[in-house]
Structure 1
Amino acid sequence: MDGSGLEERLVEEGRSRDGNGDLKKRVWEEWKTLWRIALPSIIFRVTAFGIIVVAQSFLGHVGELHLAAYALLQTIFLRFINGLLAGMSSATETLCGQAYGAGQYHMMGIYLQRSWIVDGVTGSLFIPLFIFATPILRFLGMEDDIARAAADISPWFIPFLGSLMFSMTIQMYLQAQMKNLIIGCVSAFSFALQLFLSWIFVTKFSWGVAGAMSAMNIASWSLVLGEFIYIFGGWCPDTWTGFSKAAFSDIFPIMKLSISSGIMLCLEVWYFGILVLMAGYMKNASTAISAFSICQNILAWELNMCLGFLGAACVRVANELGRGDAKAAKFAMKVNLCTSICIGVVFSILCLVFGRRLSYLFMSDEQVAASVSNLSFLLSISILLNSVQPVLSGVAVGSGMQSLVAFVNLGSYYGIGIPIGVLLGYVAHLRVEGLWIGMLCGVAMQTLALSFIIYRTDWEYQVKKASERLNKWVLKPSNGSGYSFMHA
């Protein structure tokens, strides 16, 4: 689509939101736009996370110790780094979304390249965590058998980490310009590829840990390769004009926004990791870790669906703020929130109905199944809260309020959730259920705080801030091959 075509479409979208049409028509148009963004994003997030879960599922059939070791590595190390990189990539989502809404299409490729630089440097700093995983787990007090089993798994996470540095930022970049279909298709293919390879490597060839982890890495890099082919192959002519030295300009302001975005999500992700770590100090640690991890993976799988609505909320709010339409941004938020809540109710009910059977997706141990069954009611409440909180976070990201949300997460999770979880789990002897209740309290407080912040937001002021941000960092193509600064 050329630049003039994009401008015409934006004009038409603006006319559809001018308030002259009836409410049903406006809701229907917004709902269609929402699903155009959210559905491919949901497919991407669910299948991308599904790659991690499939590896865990196959490792669970290799042995309980390997399952527990993988759960610790994934929850404590990988989820922490994944959350940090995902949060830092949300800065790309904010900038690309607002640039797209403002018609500054050429800046989107520059923002993408800057995000590769920032995320690449940051991700590389955490590689030693996987190299020295076993001594780190021993230092944290984990059982020696689990720590030794982690040594067989941890090196396989290093190439997977490399794929994350690219896949997340590219997904944000494509999503901001409504090129979501390719994201869903490529991620679905990579997920199917992993299922096939895992079955071949683990079930047929009996390669064990090496088979499950190599299948995970092949699938994750096939996703990145597909995204590269789409971008470099000429399917983003307005927003990708090739590599440029301009990507190295304004790195520090981008880094500041990226770090605040990373801390925002990292505090949330690490919160869940700490709870799994605390489960490792309980009696019969491998059962406690396995049950808690299984429930968290089910919760995370549903959460990744809701993160599709987070992405949609971020894109729609960022687009409208960049376009200068505060009322349309608020309207998009309301439609998104109502849709996500309805879906959350459905999955919450399904969780209550199936309860104990959930654990058999991962392993057949009866003790783990009983522990998972005891957590099913709390899991259903968590799923319901997850249908609200991500949308509110997406609105905040689209508005560029990452730093404020980071403080909310810090207070809600670490000031309220973890202390309550420790008291209930260890002092009141509620064990895993106590930890989960503490987690729920933290999420509930975060949801209430975000609701208050969004309710009190001055959207006209957010439009002004978006305009100032875009005008400050905008570059325009020069007559040569590079870019030159343009100040508004």
Structure 2
Amino acid sequence: MSSTFAHYQGPASLPSDYAIVSRYAAAHPNHVEDEDVIESDDENDSFSSEHHSGARSPRRQSFPAEYYLRRPTIMVGDAPAMHGRQSSHMSEHTPLLPAPDVPRMVEPHDPHPQHTSMNIFWEELNVLTRYALPVYGTHLLEYSLVMASVISIGHLSTTALAAITLGSMTASVSGFSVIQGFTSALDTMLPSAWTSDEPKLVGLWSQRMAVVMAALCVPILAVWLNAEALLIGLKQEPEVAQLAALYLRWVSFGLPAYAFNCVSRRYFQSQGLFAVPTRIIFIVAPINALLNYALVWGPEPIRLGFIGAPLATAISFNLVSLASILYGVFYVPKTAWYPFSRRMFTSLGILVQLGLGGVGQTASEWWAWELVGLAASLLGPVTLATQSVLLVSASTTFQAPFSLGVAASVRIGNLLGERNARRAGIAANTSIFMALCLSSLFSAMFLIFRNKWAYLFNDDPEVVKLVASILPLVALFQVFDGTSAVTAGIFRSRGKQFTSALLNLSAYYVIGIPFGVWLTFSRGLQLYGLWIGLTVSLVYCAVFSTWMSVRADWHREVRKVQERLSEGSKRNSVRRHGDDDLEASH
């Protein structure tokens, strides 16, 4: 889907904040936190010990800061252990002093045998909920940046609504989906880097991705600025194509900010900083709504009509970026930050390789939705407007399972970095269960309000009637869509973007879209046929991705993560020693 109707997420969100823990630690200078006991199976004990022998700093933990501040003691078995280093936990590898400015997260686990899988399930349910709620708030508020444009334009005219739909489709296919796909490489690299012995790799990999994004924006802008000729060449109505190209030209002012936000979001999320984006977007969202009203419907001196909506969106993207930079510079601890250097231009091939797999995972699905939108545009303005309403509706509810997928990706990545295979597997299964519960809730909502839903977006009686008739199918679609969103997050945490890409390609381009197009044009089912095809795609995708996630070998995933981190550490060490030798020779 498009950025405007982005099925896979709202425009760039970015998350946050261990600052409260740092302030707490500063207020208690003599307080030394307890080292977390990392739960590991016998298979991993020797590996963990061997790795620690060369550790440079204690690993960061992934549990939320709020949980830490509410727990003055750590339960060891049935006995509480007071904060401070306990002799029972000390070994030859235990640092004598804590790493400065590193907030310690307390893992909710009991190393004793009575700590069953069901206990861990409830603990991970709690952790994932704590992670996902602020992400959901962020994405929902960010999605309001786009929703405000759709609602304001939708009430101008049906042609204007069709144009903004077409423009957003083009933006998604040629730009937003590619950016999202490439930056998904950070979902693999950053969470495990944060809980490794070198947390500064989080900053270094983020800088490298920023370099990749800067290069990627150039061809995207070239396409957007020449969109009218391309759309007319695709047999779109000239009036709709002209307005869609106008939308792209104005929203392009927000493209660099969109790319920056995608990188920044993952930089903060990998550290468990999930509160800041919600605060930022809570401020920007009402500004965006006011801008949309003023620039589209406002008084004559500032009213711009159609172009006011994309301009308001672009301004809002940039406001989010600016606020994020300011917060990151002044309030976030520098534990994960890597000083700017020439190294940010190295090892870009790893990100490009993972990024291309991410494009296959993310963009293949986005492109499938845009092809469906393109097919809907051939059925007339009413059908295209109906498709717009359905996409926005499904995308809005999708923010919840998508946010859960983000939380699962971060949580599992952190646990893999900590070499905690058992808990990572249970966290993955827990996230799938939560996705089914969320999706069932949204399905019920669509069924209950199907006859009135379309009035939120458009007053055309034909559009309202068509939306009401298709919403029951959209309700069924929700269950498999939500499950696929979470399993995609699990795949990203494992570095399986390419596998997910193959699954999406077969689901949409081999099965779903051909079947839906056949139903639409050969069997005369119109828009119903397209949504039946989409639903079949997601049934296939959800079933197989769930099966592969449940049957994953998490011990093997731990070893793969450590190999990636060790490779990155070796490369940095070689370059660092090379620079030292060069300076010594001078």
Q: Which moved more, 1:291-300 or 1:21-30?
A: 21-30
The 3 A distance-change label for structure 1 pair 16 and 201 is farther
Q: Which residue of 1 aligns with 2:555?
A: 460
Contact 2:252 2:314 in 1 (8 A): no
Q: Distance in 2 between matches of 1:290 and 1:330?
A: 43
CA pair 80-361 structure 1, distance change in 2 beyond 3 A = farther
Matched, 1:145 2:239: yes
Give the Cα–Cα distance (whole angstroms) in 2 for the partners of residues 104 and 310 of structure 1.
25
Question: 5+ residue gaps in structure 2?
Answer: 1-21, 26-56, 62-97, 582-586
Partner of 2:521: 426
Letter in 2 for 1:156: W
Q: Does the C-alpha gap of structure 1 residues 112 and 17 become closer, same or farther in structure 2, counting only changes over 3 Å? A: farther
Question: Within the alignment, does 1:373 sit opposite 2:468 as a pair?
Answer: yes
Contact 1:276–1:292 under 8 Å retained in 2? yes
Task: Give the one of 389, 404, 410 matched to 2:499.
Answer: 404
User: One-letter code of the match for 1:66?
Assistant: A
Shift of 1:132: 1.7
Q: 1:47 aligns with which of 141, 157, 177?
A: 141
Distance in 1 (alpha carbons) for counterparts of 2:237 and 2:111: 59
State the SS of the aligned residue for 1:318: helix
What is the CA-CA distance between 1:478 and the residue it aligns to? Answer: 9.2
Q: Does 1:275 align with 2:369?
A: no
Question: What residue number does 1:253 align with?
Answer: 350
Residue aligning to 1:346: 441
Query: What TM-score do the two structures reach when normalised by structure 1?
Result: 0.93
C-alpha deviation, 1:225, in angstroms: 0.9
Change beyond 3 A, Cα 1:5–1:322:
closer
Q: Does the 8 Å CA contact 2:172/2:366 hold for their aligned counterparts?
A: no
Match in the other structure for 1:473: 568
Alignment partner, residue 71 of structure 2: none
CA distance in 1, matches of 2:138, 2:178: 18
Partner of 1:335: 430
The corresponding residue for 1:167 is: 261
Task: State the AA in 2 paired with 1:98.
Answer: S
Change (3 A) 1:455 1:23: closer
TM-score (ref. length: structure 2): 0.78
* 1:362–1:18 distance in 2 versus 1, CA, 3 Å: farther
Given that 2:181 and 2:361 are in contact with CA atoms closer than 8 Å, whether structure 1 keeps it comes out as: yes
Which residue matches 2:127? Answer: 33
| Paired AA for residue 473 in structure 2 | L
CA distance in 1, matches of 2:447, 2:346: 52
- In the alignment, the residues of structure 2 paired with residue 483 and residue 426 of structure 1 have an alpha-carbon distance, to the nearest angstrom, of 67
Partner of 2:552: helix, strand, or coil? coil
Q: Residues 94-149 of structure 1: CA distance to partner in whole angstroms, max 9, x if unpaired? A: 10111112242110000110111112212321112221222111111112221122
Please tell me the residue identity of whatever aligns with 2:461.
Answer: E
One-letter amino acid of the structure 1 residue matched with residue 533 of structure 2 = G
Residue type at the aligned position of 2:342: K
Q: CA deviation at 1:437?
A: 0.4
Shift of 1:334: 1.8
SS at match of 1:364: coil
Instruction: Tell me the CA shift for residue 472 of structure 1.
Output: 0.6
Q: Tell me the CA shift for residue 202 of structure 1.
A: 2.3
Q: 1:222-233 to 2 correspondence within 5 Å?
A: 222-233=319-330
- The one-letter code sitting in structure 2 at the alignment partner of 1:244 is S
Q: Does 1:70 align with 2:164?
A: yes
3-state SS of the aligned residue for 1:126? helix
**CA shift digits 1:385-432 (9 cap, x unpaired):** 122111111111000011111111111110001110111000010000
Within the alignment, does 1:109 sit opposite 2:203 as a pair? yes
How high is the sequence identity, in percent, across the aligned residues?
22
Q: Aligned with 1:125: secondary structure?
A: helix
Bigger fraction of residues in helix: 1
CA distance in 2, matches of 1:437, 1:45: 27
**Local SS of the residue matching 1:324:** coil
Determine whether 1:182 maps to 2:280.
no
RMSD of Structure 2 on Structure 1 (CA): 2.3
Task: Give the drift of 1:10.
Answer: 6.5
| Whole-angstrom distance in 2 between the partners of 1:268 and 1:78 | 11
